[in-house]
Chains A and B, each alone.
Chain A
Amino acid sequence: MREEVDDEQLMELYRDGDAGVFDILYRRHKGGLYRYLFRLCKQQSIADELFQDVWSNIIRSRERYQPTAKFSTFLYQVAHHRLIDHVRQNPEIHLSLDAENEESESLVEQLPADPGGQPEILVERKRLVENLVNNIEALPALQREAFLLREEAGLSLEEIAQATGVTQETAKSRLRYAVAKLRDGLKGLR
């Protein structure tokens, strides 16, 4: 029954003292948030620390929570700010937007959506996935963040802009460059 309740209602229930609903909320978002942090900071120990900090922040701020936006937007907004704090303390993480504007053609679209159990295709798909992950990690941090917010949290452009504190056009630009680079990386495999 409670599994069908949306995130915002669960958070309100938790705010009002129902501790049990937090487990549901946590299960829904722990994987996406962890991967978001892990793929951005690239170190598991740091990702662990940031992950725990983000959830602690959510727990502490529960009484101030108002469902004015999606819970996932609120959660990743907290995560973004925590990440920014971490980057400021660790200047080796370069958060710059390296704009590239090259046209690319999609080779991924040529791959079958369902490998269907064929060994050659499975190996090929695995190679593409590994390459994609490598390309994601090679993206500039802000473009990578926009892509991860879209993939892991399912946020729209507007919500990505809200979570990262930028305009919608800026968020759109970051995501556009990220998608273009990833497609270029996959095209090179062919």
Chain B
Amino acid sequence: MSQDRELETYLQGKGDLSQLYADAQKVEPPAHLDAAILAQAHRAVNARPGIKPRRRWAVPLGMVASLFAVVMIGLQLPYLLKEPVSLQSPTEAKVAAVMDQRAAEPAPALQPGERKDIQVGNEEKSEITGNKPVLTEAGAYAPPAAPRAAAPMPAMPAPVMPAKRLEMKESAAVENMGALSREKKSANTGESIVNDALEQRVPAAAVLAAPQRAQTGRALQEAEADGKAPLPEEWLMRIKKLKQDGKLEEAGKELAAFKKRYPDFPVPAGIEVR
């Protein structure tokens, strides 16, 4: 118990132990230790500013940049995987897509005054979505167009077309003319590109396929197919020769047949049989 009392007295600072100890020789650390420790302390703090600011923003910025890159790649990945690699220029690809769609569609005959709505907007979409199915005029889904090779648009022979190429039916000619005229009205850039291309592929020779010209062509084809009716010029030369030979009756019959066959073909005055 006395030890407890001594301890209490000592802890209260009333004893002389602490006073005697305070008078003891105060050993101090050597000066070189003081200098070394203080220098180390200052170096440690002064070395921080070069490192700490970089750590403050470099790591978060790096993380944000990485996250942004991952998100952007993730958003583009479906398109990168689906789109085939095309060597076509943008214009060529646009024209090719429209032409393919036109080829896949049926060509219904238009009644006089009937309006045909060409959904150029859809064509634009088909250009963007690549081979995705597109809505046709009838509202049904058309199969995706096969990718075209990168080839320039073939130059069509201009105004003169071979007779066989004039097989275009009257209704198809009217449809083309109607479509072209409507497409020209559009102000859309994509539409103008498409229209230019269409005008190249269907030149003036096709546009001028009027009903009478179509009939003439058909008559010539039929005559040639039968092997009976020669060309009008030859036919007229033969009629002229018959007349010169004095075979007026035969010449008259031939002329009547000619006129029946080619009613609009101009007959020279010297061939007319009176």
Q: Which residues of A contact B (CB under 8 A)?
A: 14, 17-19, 22-23, 26, 30-31, 34-35, 38, 48, 51-52, 55-56, 59-60, 62, 101, 103-104, 106, 108-109, 111, 113, 125-126, 128-130, 132-133, 136, 150-151, 157, 172, 175-177, 179-180, 182-183, 186
Contacts and interface: CB of A to CB of B under 8 A. Distances in A.
A59 B45 CA distance: 9
Given A22-B42, A23-B38, A133 B28 contact: no
Contacts of B114: none
Nearest to A19: B45
B6 A19 contact: no
Contacts of B2: 103-104
Interface in B1-30: 2-4, 6-7, 10-11, 15-21, 23-30
B33 A179 contact: no
A121 B126 CA distance: 113
A22 B26 contact: no
A171 to B, nearest CB: 11
B10 A22 contact: no
Interface residues of B, number: 35
A152 B33 CA distance: 19
Contacts, number: 110
A59 B23 CA distance: 32
Contacts of A113: 16, 19
Given A17-B48, A132-B21, A172 B34 contact: no
Nearest to A51: B29
B74 interface: no
A101 B44 CA distance: 49
Smallest CB-CB A-B distances: 10 pairs: A108-B16, A19-B45, A22-B41, A34-B29, A176-B7, A55-B37, A19-B42, A103-B2, A129-B23, A180-B3
B49 interface: yes
A176 B49 CA distance: 49
A125 B42 contact: no
With most chain A CB atoms within 10 A of its CB, the pick from B17, B27, B42 is: B17
B45 A31 contact: no
B119 interface: no
Nearest to A49: B33
A180 B8 CA distance: 12
Contacts of A38: 27
Given A55-B41, A113-B16, A177-B3, 7 more contacts: A59-B37, A129-B20, A129-B24, A133-B21, A176-B3, A179-B15, A182-B17
A27 B33 CA distance: 12
Nearest to A128: B20
B89 interface: no
Contacts of B25: 133
A179 B4 contact: no
A48 B29 CA distance: 7
Contact of A56 (B16, B18, B37): B37
15 contacts: A14-B41, A17-B45, A35-B27, A48-B29, A59-B37, A106-B6, A108-B15, A109-B15, A130-B24, A132-B17, A151-B21, A172-B7, A177-B3, A179-B15, A186-B20
Contacts of B18: 151
Nearest to B48: A17
Contact of A62 (B11, B27, B44, B49): B44
A128 to B, nearest CB: 6
B40 interface: yes
Contacts of A172: 7
With most chain B CB atoms within 10 A of its CB, the pick from A17, A19, A157, A172 is: A19
A19 B29 contact: no
